[in-house]
Structure 1
Amino acid sequence: MAEKAITWLKLHRSFSPDQPFLMYWAPGAAHGPHHVFPEWAKKYQGKFDQGWDKLRKEVFARQKQLGWIPADAKLTERAETMEAWDDIPDSQREFQLRLMELFAGFVEHTDAQVGKLVDYLEQTGQRENTMIIYIWGDNGSSAEGQKGSISELLAQNQIPNTIEQQLEALKGLGGLDALGGPLTDNMYHASWAWAGSTPFRYTKLVASHFGGTRNPLVISWPKGIKPDKRPRSQFYHVNDIAPTIYDLLDITPPKVVNGFAQDPIDGVSMTASFADTDAPENKPVQYFDNNGSRGIYKDGWYACTFGPLIPWVNAQPGLAEWDSAKDVWELYNLREDFSQANDLATKHPEKLAELKKLFLEQARENKVFPIGAGIWLRLHPEDVITSPYRSWVFDETTTRMPEFTAPGLGKKSNTVTIELECGKDASGVLYALGGAGGGLTCYMDDGYLVFEYNLMIVQRFIAKSKEKLTAGKHTIVVDTSLKSPRPGSPADIVLTVDGKEVARTTAKMTVPAAFTASESFDVGVDLGSTVSREYYKRRPFRFNGKIQKVRVALK
């Protein structure tokens, strides 16, 4: 991405050297999964052996020493539902440490790419009058790895699993050395995320406390901002970035764009804080909402409620019984309590009532209702956005079709009919959906027909023909029948060639929502990460025969 960005800057300089530029550069880091070259993770080997509880205390001490948090800030406690480092068995610690080392390497590698961009601006004399707005983080550190994960979407699909089960599956990929590479979609333990959100209480997906929402922001503009080492304490939000740019460039935001009336801008300009550390705060109100966890800020006060979802709990029970009207709210004076350590709800009930009323007003104005709508898909993954079609015809031109627009082959009863012509000992992918972290694939290997259902690495269900297909034209049918309409139901999968059954298997569980957030459906090849480890070293394992058509029909 850094190289592409530099190329874009070079082209801009060539074609429009007298014109300003605006670049929005958003890498995948430090969002999961955590992939990085081994040499970057190796730098951090042994750096976290003390565990997350001690690490958090060490980070807190450094934050105070460097003056990045107030001297009177308090270190909040770990949630009772979150594991302590002492809870982790010795047999699992190497796994947990490796996950954190990979995350750290991932972070440093990303920062190094940002450095390449800055260096280029320096080398070309553009740095002096270029403003860099550098926001770092993933909404607050992410707890979606739960107890540590080799496949990121185990959490979103609420698939029950154990670390022992994951470690056993990892053995088939090469053990710990496979973590961080193309065969896994690993995420670190939620307690590492908690340590990464020091001194705040919680993590990403929790809107009530700043461990889930607060990110570092650095703004650098050599020509316009004199740097100093004092952090700014004014309360700002991501919706203040655009108003700040408009203010600096003296641009009046358009009321209509391409014929569409624009919503009012909620944010404010941060420019006063550039030169004045103690500039008066100018953002009066900001609401927060995520999966029913919610909060409201006004003039230094913050009211919030945790909500129903505990992001670090696997396959959490009880979500269907949640009633938002029964949620318990907390109250904090952020100007005296930086880390939300002292709940003032019982001391100032009138202030809490005022802010709860304000939240409802903001929610209505910003179309937040119904509260906790994100919980619905966790309870009803069958309602996830899907294609409106019931049947399709594909051929070898179909590649990189995003999973959410592709047929739901992994979670719905369906029939796939493949018309092909192959030679003797044919090999290659006929079709594939998903990637290494989870997916399904139908392929030929040295003449044999194979189907694999990869349930997020932790379980694999494979059917393989006993005999090779002869050279010539064939009609292959893959018939998938879920045993019940409920999400995650087991499924019978039957392979036939020219009307004769050649193999079958039963997937003991199917994916309730989605295999991945970024992989795709491909015909005749498996692009991206490979669904099956069996042909990983032969990727993208393009079929060496001819596929006339692939017909897909949902039952």
Structure 2
Amino acid sequence: MPFAPVPSGSVAGRTLQESTYRPRVPPKRLHDDSPNIVIVLIDDAGPGLPSTFGGEVTTATLDRICGEGVSYNRFHTTAMCSPTRASLLTGRNHHEIGNGQIAELANDWDGYAGKIPRSSATVAEVLKQYGYATSAFGKWHNTPAEETTAAGPFENWPTGLGFEYFYGFLAGEASQYEPHLVRNTTVVAPPRTPEEGYHLSEDLADDAIGWLRRHKAFNADKPFFMYWASGCLHGPHHIMKDWADKYAGKFDDGWDTYRQRVFERAKQKGWLPQDCRLTERDETLAAWDDIPEDEKPFQRRLMEVAAGYAEHVDVQVGRIADELDHLGYGENTLFFYIWGDNGSSGEGQNGTIAELLAQNGIPTTVRQHIDALDELGGLDVLGSPLVDNQYHAGWAWAGSTPYKGMKLLASHLGGTRNPMAVRWPAKITADPAPRDVFLHCTDVVPTIYDVVGIEAPRTVYGEPQMPLAGASFARTLADRTAPGGKKTQYFEIMGSRAIYHDGWLAAARGPRLPWVPGQPEGIATWTPDNDRWELYHLEEDWSQSRDLADRLPKKLAQMRELFAIEAARNAVLPIGGGLWVPVYHPELRISPPYREWEFAGDMVRMPEFCAPALGNRNNVVTIDVDIPADANGVLYSLGAAAGGLTCYLDEGHLCYEYNLFILSRTKIRSESKLPPGRTTLVVTTRYAQPRPAGPLDITIARDGDTIAAGCVPISAPLLFTANDCLDIGTCLGSPVSLDYRERAPFPFEGHIHRVHVAYT
């Protein structure tokens, strides 16, 4: 691929009369009833949430897809988002295509390089070459962070990897109210504000529906492939109050009791076998009874918000399914609905109103979160644009019922086992009983090729292609007893690992537990050689409840040897390579290679990963500006409402704010107004103490004279956001300061000639 151009069938003579006209006829590469294909991927959602499988989050669309098709209760992912997405779209294992961890933590080990190689063409690229129209919506998270600016390069954006159309966000998460969005390769603003009713999940469904309608009008004779990957249920948990209120009081008895209810209901529904056991809570994870009574309303409301958020996205999937039927596509559309790219996420740890606190390693107490929330308006603010809340890890554990693990644990099924439903009315007879064939996300691409009747290409744009790692399960769509998938599959994320083979699973939990704040003691000297391995016979122990390692040491040794073989074959080595940057070498985290920048006064939407680190590096910002009398407006802003810094003018007063994840706001304001005219403003940031999260001294000068100064007591050592940006002359994303939120985007009323930034 690409296929050679079809030569003309006409013969040109000297004149038209002497010429033979015979239009070229492209070869037929697809059969007449080639199906349309839709993949829906939900984010950070475990099997214990949907009502479809015994949970208490209403999922009417998932009910419908299961009821009109078939479901799989042993479908598996990688325990982390970017790796799953890369594998799902290519049919290869995540390490062998350089996606051993999220793109932002890329390093130089081959298995962790952070780019999908050209030797692993996506299913979109292959289907496009065969004549499919292709589109992608929502979360991407497979582009290197340093390549996500409006300047590109664009070859690793969705449109460079086989998708003819893309609308969504490139990072791992986004505000659901004020996201940084891209259409194809152009940065675009959300079509409405939160006050006007905007929500990202709805916008993504709207845009997908619009694309389907355009396809019907312009490309009616072409089949299509659509990949719709919501940012829900990833943090921040953003949803309108009326959706959260549907669940008021439903989780009052806590996650331990919720888990028991879901487990019993899942067995009644036939989603879990009757001999399945409910695994125990890890001793390091808090029981509901351990939560102080005065903190329980906060923890309950966090789960109510998450539940409303999850139901809302399922409704948006339903809107897309309805449109497929309305346009006449539903009958011959192969529709995959995958509930989770990994298990539920415990990255909210003890419950938070600013979920990037955990990534920055800043210790806090739940009481600090509650107190800050009270200042914003109380529990009703949860789910709003003012906070980036995420629930307690106990709810993530409950959302992964009946398993031990959750997201980031590749060792346990709660991190890797996700429900999948498939509908294709033209070919699949509805079957209410789930299929229990062991499948992996790498199996989806070969299944699509099998169904469409094509082979994986040997070369694409001259690049030899690596073999597919997955195996088709197409036969199981029509026949539940048919074989499908493969017998062996490894798992590994940041040192947590497992190997499945022919009904057995061996696993080592690795050095970190996602719900435990900070870095674990001894991780600096961690080696996989010292990890304890567990052994489970999944054919007799559905949920990993009985560890057989001590009873069957020879079997465990065989499984460990098999893992070693698969790890070497798939570029997993070194084990724990994904920890290289976040744990051992944080100084290698993706950042611009520059120490100095020159910006025009209207530069906007520079993703934080690519912007100067104004909040955690010694730096000087110099602004050449014309200031009108009593001026208002943002000079520059980095970050978002849940964390960031900003410099602006308010009625002529120069203001600076450092918003440390809502919990602390350092505000500096000049005593007198700045006189009108052209002037030079200099904002100097220096560490008062050279240590991560150390205090920062801020000095602001006008034409060489200091006009304001202050100290930021605690700083953000890594970054403020995953998806927001640096803006100059305005604040186009989520407003950093509450003081100008009602006036956002609060454009500067004067003229900024230039902004110079330099590290010192």
TM-score for both structures, normalised by structure 2: 0.72
- 1:330 aligns to what? 534
- 2:572 aligns to what? 368
Asked if the contact 1:149/1:186 (under 8 Å) is kept, the reply is: yes
Cα distance per residue 1:416-458 (max 9 Å; x no partner): 1111112111111111111111111111111111111111112
1:300 aligns with 2:506: no
Of 602, 605, 624 in structure 2, the residue corresponding to residue 397 of structure 1 is 602
Which residue identity does 2:559 align to in structure 1? L
Of 432, 443, 446 in structure 1, the residue corresponding to residue 637 of structure 2 is 432
Distance 1:485 1:381, change over 3 A: farther
Which residue identity does 2:614 align to in structure 1? L
- 2:551 aligns to what? 347
Of stretches 155-164 and 347-356 in structure 1, the one that deviates more from structure 2 is 347-356
SS at match of 1:23: strand
- 1:481 aligns to what? 686
Asked if the contact 1:29/1:110 (under 8 Å) is kept, the reply is: yes
- 2:152 aligns to what? none
Q: Distance in 1 between matches of 2:484 and 2:321?
A: 30
Which residue identity does 2:400 align to in structure 1? S
- 1:8 aligns to what? 211
- 2:36 aligns to what? none
SS at match of 2:330: coil
Q: Distance in 1 between matches of 2:710 and 2:518?
A: 26
SS at match of 1:501: strand
Of 446, 470, 473 in structure 2, the residue corresponding to residue 243 of structure 1 is 446
Q: Distance in 2 between matches of 1:302 and 1:499?
A: 67
- 2:73 aligns to what? none
Which residue identity does 1:356 align to in structure 2? R
- 2:737 aligns to what? 532
Q: Distance in 1 between matches of 2:420 and 2:229?
A: 14
- 1:383 aligns to what? 588
SS at match of 1:404: helix
Q: Distance in 2 between matches of 1:392 and 1:227?
A: 60
Distance 1:260 1:485, change over 3 A: farther
Distance 1:373 1:462, change over 3 A: farther
Q: Distance in 1 between matches of 2:693 and 2:526?
A: 22
SS at match of 1:393: strand
Asked if the contact 1:382/1:487 (under 8 Å) is kept, the reply is: no
Asked if the contact 2:472/2:484 (under 8 Å) is kept, the reply is: no
Which residue identity does 2:708 align to in structure 1? A
Q: Distance in 1 between matches of 2:262 and 2:553?
A: 34
Q: Distance in 2 between matches of 1:13 and 1:210?
A: 41
- 2:408 aligns to what? 205
Alignment of 1:227-242 (within 5 A): 227-242=430-445
Q: Distance in 1 between matches of 2:601 and 2:242?
A: 38
Cα distance per residue 1:357-405 (max 9 Å; x no partner): 2212222222222222333333343321001111111123311111111
Q: Distance in 2 between matches of 1:301 and 1:78?
A: 22
Which residue identity does 1:203 align to in structure 2? M
SS at match of 1:369: coil
SS at match of 1:531: coil
Asked if the contact 1:75/1:339 (under 8 Å) is kept, the reply is: yes
Asked if the contact 2:236/2:388 (under 8 Å) is kept, the reply is: yes
Structure 1 residue 279 displacement after superposition? 2.3
Distance 1:138 1:245, change over 3 A: closer
Which residue identity does 1:368 align to in structure 2? V
SS at match of 1:419: strand
- 1:261 aligns to what? 464
Structure 1 residue 462 displacement after superposition? 1.7
Cα distance per residue 1:459-481 (max 9 Å; x no partner): 22221111111111111111111
Q: Distance in 2 between matches of 1:138 and 1:462?
A: 40
SS at match of 2:336: strand
Q: Distance in 2 between matches of 1:197 and 1:28?
A: 18
Of stretches 3-12 and 174-183 in structure 1, the one that deviates more from structure 2 is 174-183
SS at match of 1:172: helix
Unaligned residue ranges in structure 2 (runs of 5+): 1-203
Unaligned residue ranges in structure 1 (runs of 5+): none
- 1:36 aligns to what? 239
Which residue identity does 2:558 align to in structure 1? E
Alignment of 1:39-188 (within 5 A): 39-188=242-391
Which residue identity does 2:683 align to in structure 1? V
SS at match of 1:82: coil
Asked if the contact 1:424/1:471 (under 8 Å) is kept, the reply is: yes
Asked if the contact 1:34/1:102 (under 8 Å) is kept, the reply is: yes
SS at match of 2:637: strand
Q: Distance in 1 between matches of 2:269 and 2:254?
A: 22
Aligned length: 555
Asked if the contact 1:146/1:188 (under 8 Å) is kept, the reply is: yes
Structure 1 residue 274 displacement after superposition? 1.0
Q: Distance in 1 between matches of 2:341 and 2:381?
A: 24
Asked if the contact 1:138/1:204 (under 8 Å) is kept, the reply is: no
SS at match of 2:668: strand
Structure 1 residue 91 displacement after superposition? 1.0
Higher relative contact order (CA 8 A, sep 6+): 2
Q: Distance in 1 between matches of 2:377 and 2:599?
A: 35
Which residue identity does 1:133 align to in structure 2? F
Which residue identity does 1:52 align to in structure 2? W
Structure 1 residue 30 displacement after superposition? 0.9
Asked if the contact 1:530/1:540 (under 8 Å) is kept, the reply is: yes
Asked if the contact 1:419/1:547 (under 8 Å) is kept, the reply is: yes
Which residue identity does 1:544 align to in structure 2? E
Q: Distance in 1 between matches of 2:235 and 2:625?
A: 38
Which residue identity does 1:340 align to in structure 2? Q
Asked if the contact 1:296/1:304 (under 8 Å) is kept, the reply is: yes
1:504 aligns with 2:709: yes
Structure 1 residue 40 displacement after superposition? 0.7
SS at match of 1:74: coil
Asked if the contact 1:149/1:188 (under 8 Å) is kept, the reply is: yes
Of stretches 141-150 and 257-266 in structure 1, the one that deviates more from structure 2 is 257-266
Asked if the contact 1:415/1:554 (under 8 Å) is kept, the reply is: yes
Q: Distance in 1 between matches of 2:510 and 2:708?
A: 47
Asked if the contact 1:382/1:513 (under 8 Å) is kept, the reply is: no
Asked if the contact 1:381/1:512 (under 8 Å) is kept, the reply is: no
Asked if the contact 1:2/1:114 (under 8 Å) is kept, the reply is: yes
Q: Distance in 2 between matches of 1:530 and 1:55?
A: 37
Asked if the contact 2:473/2:483 (under 8 Å) is kept, the reply is: no
Distance 1:217 1:537, change over 3 A: same
Asked if the contact 2:216/2:327 (under 8 Å) is kept, the reply is: no
Q: Distance in 1 between matches of 2:590 and 2:607?
A: 12
Which residue identity does 1:360 align to in structure 2? A
- 1:357 aligns to what? 561
Structure 1 residue 539 displacement after superposition? 1.1
- 1:547 aligns to what? 752
Q: Distance in 2 between matches of 1:389 and 1:522?
A: 18
